[in-house]
Amino acid sequence: MIEPVRMNVLIVAAKADAETTRLVNEVLAERNVRGLIVGDMDSAAAKVETRQWDLVMGDLSAKGDAPAMLRITRHLFPELPVILFGDKASADLLGDALNEGCTELIRKPIRRKSLESTLDVLLPAHQVHLAASSDDEDASRRYQIAGKSEKFLQSIHLAEKVAPTSVPVLITGESGTGKELISGLIHRRSNRSRGPFIHINCAALSETLLESELFGHEKGAFTGAYERQKGLFERADGGTLLLDELSETTRRLQAELLRVLEQQQFERLGGSETVRVNVRIVSTSNRDLGEEVRKGRFRQDLFYRISGVHIHVPPLRERTEDITTLVWHFVNLYAREVRRKITALDKQMMTFFSQYDWPGNVRQLRNIVRAALIFNEGATLSLDGTPTLTNEIRQNADRPTDTLQLAELERQAILEALRRTERNQVKAARLLGITDRTLREKLRRYRQADERQGRRPQKAGEIK
């Protein structure tokens, strides 16, 4: 479905100025924007933290403490834009409003064109094809997943079909493809959507810490356990637990997980009390778990237990028809940060994008779009003047690649990034458009492959 992004705006209205309120409502309605009106600044300050707002608009002549409302807004959501309206009578508040981080001040009486021009920048709403979406007033239930390719829509359709059940789901795909977004979709479309949605990254913790996080511990269970702590299984009771990168767990912990998943009960570390829960499990992996089972690195019985339904998310290089949709989607999300009104996409840039291999997938595309928004000016989004990945995109755009060569190309890109950053992994990950966790995981795999094949790491940036 092609539709504009649905926005939520909080409006602080002055009762004495019905004309301004009417004009604001009219302009927002024309843009399919949902507005909530409150009568004073103090009420607005309380409302700011109750929902995911896209913009706050307020009249300085409304009752209450405008600077205090701005301070609270800036503290909770530093990047949330705030527009204030003021006239000569409220001139003494203008300086305080600017000092507290007001994004835009509009003089009254407001002209429609001036308001529309401001909203074009702060509330971009280009039409995009959403594979799945919800504009629920509850911020925790709102989501938008952009895409229109057949392969991606098949993954979304399968997620929507399995969501109302309690079947465990395994989501596989390369890093940056959107596995976590789809896991969130499954939870929010399920009968457990009002329950908790708990997420843990299994690759980020050691075995001992992961076990404690999952099952909790009793006071005195180990050094530093000063009080009882509930684990994530308990906290997810009645909801969904996302085990991200489950393939990174040890076989011992996999045995523990199998018992819990089958019986829905366990004991906290250091305790004997049986804790019973009702939790749906969604797991993700950027590896082929079937292959991991065959190699003896993942338990077969656990694999069958977690993969009641298997959803594969295709990499971006296999759904290039989604690239334009995704670029506009990210413009909608991030153009307001730099206050740029984007009306067109540079043709040369889009040609590069369609031919590039995207080793970091959608996450990498998002980072490049944000960089292009920051480092350029004007109404056309382009790569001119954009640092980091521009040269690599251009070098790879015209270079034919074979699917069998992708792993080696990725390895060479990582080695080059490490060389350029003098082996600083955080900087190298930023250069590649991936997270440093993803980079560490790839380096670990390369080391293991080198050890199995008895070869030394390559010189450029050496994998150590």
278 and 170, same domain (yes or no): yes
What is the span of the domain harbouring residue 81? Answer: 2-122
pLDDT score of 395 more than 70: no
- Residue 9's pLDDT band, with cuts at 50, 70 and 90, is very high
What pLDDT shows up at residue 4? Answer: 52
* Domain-embedded: residue 463: no
Q: Let me know if residue 459 belongs to a domain.
A: no
| β partners of residue 312 | 172
Is the Cβ–Cβ distance between 123 and 341 less than 8 Å? no
As a whole number of angstroms, the distance between CA 151 and CA 148 comes to 9
Residue 274 Rama label (left phi>0; alpha psi -120 to 50; beta): beta
Q: Are residues 393 and 443 in the same domain?
A: no
For 188, residues 6+ apart whose C-beta sits below 8 A from its C-beta are 134, 141, 143, 163, 197
Residue 403 has pLDDT above 50, yes or no: no
User: What pLDDT, on a 0 to 100 scale, did the predictor assign at position 141?
Assistant: 63
SS3 of the chain: the string is CEECCCEEEEEECCCCCHHHHHHHHHHHHHCCEEEEEECEHHHHHHHHCCCCCCEEEEECCCECCHHHHHHHHHHHCCCCCEEEEECHHHHHHHHHHHHCCCCEEEECCCCHHHHHHHHHHHCCCCCEEEEEEECCCCHHHCEEEECCCHHHHHHHHHHHHHCCCCCCEEEECCCCCCHHHHHHHHHHCCCCCCCCEEEEEHHHCCHHHHHHHHHEECCCCCCCCCCCEECHHHHCCCCEEEEECHHHCCHHHHHHHHHHHHHCEEECECCCCEEECCCEEEEEECCCHHHHHHCCCCCHHHHHHHCCEEEECCCHHHCHHHHHHHHHHHHHHHHHHHCCCCCEECHHHHHHHHHCCCCCHHHHHHHHHHHHHHHCCCCEECCCCCCCCHHHHHHHHCCCCCHHHHHHHHHHHHHHHHHHCCCCHHHHHHHHCCCHHHHHHHHHHHHHHHHHHCCCCCCCCCCC
Q: Does the pLDDT of residue 460 top 70, yes or no?
A: no
Q: Which of 312, 339, 360 is the last residue of a domain?
A: 312
Same domain, 160 and 286: yes
Strands laid side by side in the 33-38 sheet: 33-38, 7-12, 55-59, 82-86, 104-107
- pTM of the model as a whole: 0.76
Q: What is the mean pLDDT of residues 221-248?
A: 87
Asked if pLDDT for residue 320 goes beyond 90, the answer is yes
Judge if 294 and 146 occupy the same domain: yes
Retrieve residue 310's tokens.
């298997």
Residue 213 lies in a domain: yes
The answer to whether residues 97 and 84 touch, using CB atoms and an 8 Å cutoff, is yes
Q: How far is CA 317 from the centre of its chain?
A: 20
Q: Which amino acid is at 37?
A: I
What average pLDDT does this structure show over 392-413? 57
Residue 405: predicted pLDDT: 45
Identify the CATH number of the domain in which residue 344 sits.
1.10.8.60
Q: Is residue 49 one of the residues assigned to a domain?
A: yes
Residue 462 lies inside a defined structural domain of this protein? no
| Residue range 60-117, pLDDT digits in tens | 888 888 888 888 888 888 888 999 988 876 766 777 777 777 888 888 889 999 999 9
Q: What confidence tens digit (pLDDT) does each residue in 163-175 have?
A: 999 999 999 999 9
Nearest of 127, 33, 128 to residue 83 by alpha carbon: 33
Q: Considering the domain boundaries, does residue 240 fall inside one?
A: yes
The Cα–Cα gap between 441 and 244 comes to 13
**For the chain, how long is the longest CA-to-CA vector?**
80
135 and 265 belong to one structural domain: yes
pLDDT of residue 127: 84
| Claim to verify: residue 103 and residue 178 sit in the same structural domain | no
102 with 157, same domain: the answer is: no
Can you give the CATH number for the domain in which 67 is found? 3.40.50.2300
Q: Which residues contact 58 (CB under 8 A, 6 or more apart)?
A: 11, 12, 41, 44, 66, 69, 82, 83, 84, 85
Q: What is the pLDDT of residue 311?
A: 97
Domain identity same for 183 and 287? yes
Confidence of residue 447 (pLDDT cuts 50, 70, 90): confident
186 in the same domain as 275: yes
Look at the chain and report how many structural domains it folds into. Answer: 4
On the question of pLDDT at 285 being above 80, the answer is yes
Residue 205 contacts residue 178 (beta carbons within 8 Å): no
* β pairing state of 229-230 and 55-59: unpaired
What pLDDT sits at residue 116?
A: 92
How would residue 217 be classed by pLDDT, with cut points 50, 70 and 90?
Answer: confident
pLDDT of the residue at 238:
95
Q: Which residue has the higher pLDDT, 445 or 325?
A: 325
The model's pLDDT over 357-393, given as tens digits with 9 standing for 90+, comes to: 898 899 999 989 998 998 888 999 998 877 555 666 6
* Residue 394 pLDDT: 60
CA separation, residue 21 to residues 69, 110, 234, 436 (Å): 19, 10, 47, 47
More confident residue, 324 or 431: 324
Residue 439 domain-assigned? Answer: yes
Residues 170 and 190 in one domain: yes
Is 27 found in the same domain as 104?
A: yes
Q: Is residue 355 part of a domain?
A: yes
Residue 404 clears pLDDT 50, i.e. is over it? no
Q: Using CA atoms, how far apart are residues 260 and 275, in angstroms rounded to an integer? A: 10
**Residues recorded for the chain:** 464
232 & 359 share domain: no
Of 397, 413, 437, the one marking the end of a domain is 397
Question: Among 98, 122, 146, which residue terminates a domain?
Answer: 122
pLDDT of amino acid 407: 59
Average confidence score pLDDT of the chain: 85
pLDDT in tens, 117-160: 999 999 888 888 888 877 665 555 667 899 999 999 999 999 99
Max mean pLDDT among 73-87, 150-164, 219-233, 336-350 falls in: 150-164
Both tokens assigned to 315: 């990499």
d(C-alpha 342, C-alpha 290), whole Å: 45
Q: Facing residues of 35 across strands?
A: 9
Q: How many CB atoms lie within 10 A of CB 391?
A: 10
